[in-house]
Amino acid sequence: MLRIGLILATIAALIGLFVVLNGGKRRAAVEPPSGTRSVEIRVRQGQLESAEPVVRLTEGERVSLVVISDRADELHLHGYDLHVRLIPNEPAKLSFVANLTGRFTCELHQAHMEIAVLEIYPP
């Protein structure tokens, strides 16, 4: 009985450690210092007007997504779980440090429209 309790306590401790470490890794700095790569995305009448379809970044790189839409919406960066409200014809900036590797989509929530994909590679 003591052995089962010890095993369960060890598993609980490992899960707790995983949650703490993974949670810290998923946080993105909202306003990084200078030296930021800027990516501008324009959406007009429900169509992507200008943007790189796939933005390739290196882990640790600072990036600022600047989105201009002619309609109110909300930009969501999946994987990082970052959001910014879009006001018609006003630039909205979403700045963060690319601290997760992988492929992440940027979506306009109300329009259900993917506007960019970020591919973040290890250094």
Domain assignment present for residue 10? The answer is: no
pLDDT of residue 74: 97
CATH code where residue 81 lies:
2.60.40.420
Query: Does the predicted TM-score (pTM) go above 0.75?
Result: no
Give the range with max mean pLDDT: 12-26, 45-59, 96-110: 96-110
Number of domains present in the structure of the chain? 1
Residue with tokens 């201009």: 68
Domain assignment present for residue 7? The answer is: no
* Total number of residues shown for the chain: 123
pLDDT tens per residue, range 2-21:
676 555 455 554 454 444 44
73-77, strands of its sheet edge to edge = 54-58, 113-121, 102-108, 73-77, 82-86
Domain assignment present for residue 110? The answer is: yes
Residue-number span of the structural domain to which 53 is assigned: 37-121
Mean pLDDT of 76-88: 97
pLDDT tens per residue, range 17-45:
444 444 433 333 344 446 889 999 999 99
- CA-nearest of 42, 48, 52, 24 to 91 is 42
E-strand ranges in the chain read 37-44, 47-50, 54-58, 62-69, 73-77, 82-86, 92-97, 102-108, 113-121
Domain assignment present for residue 21? The answer is: no
Domain assignment present for residue 72? The answer is: yes
pLDDT of residue 55: 94
pLDDT of residue 52: 77
Sequence-ordered list of residues with C-beta below 8 angstroms from that of 33, at least 6 positions apart, any chain: 62
Domain assignment present for residue 76? The answer is: yes
Q: Which residue stretches of the chain are H helix?
A: 2-26
Domain assignment present for residue 25? The answer is: no
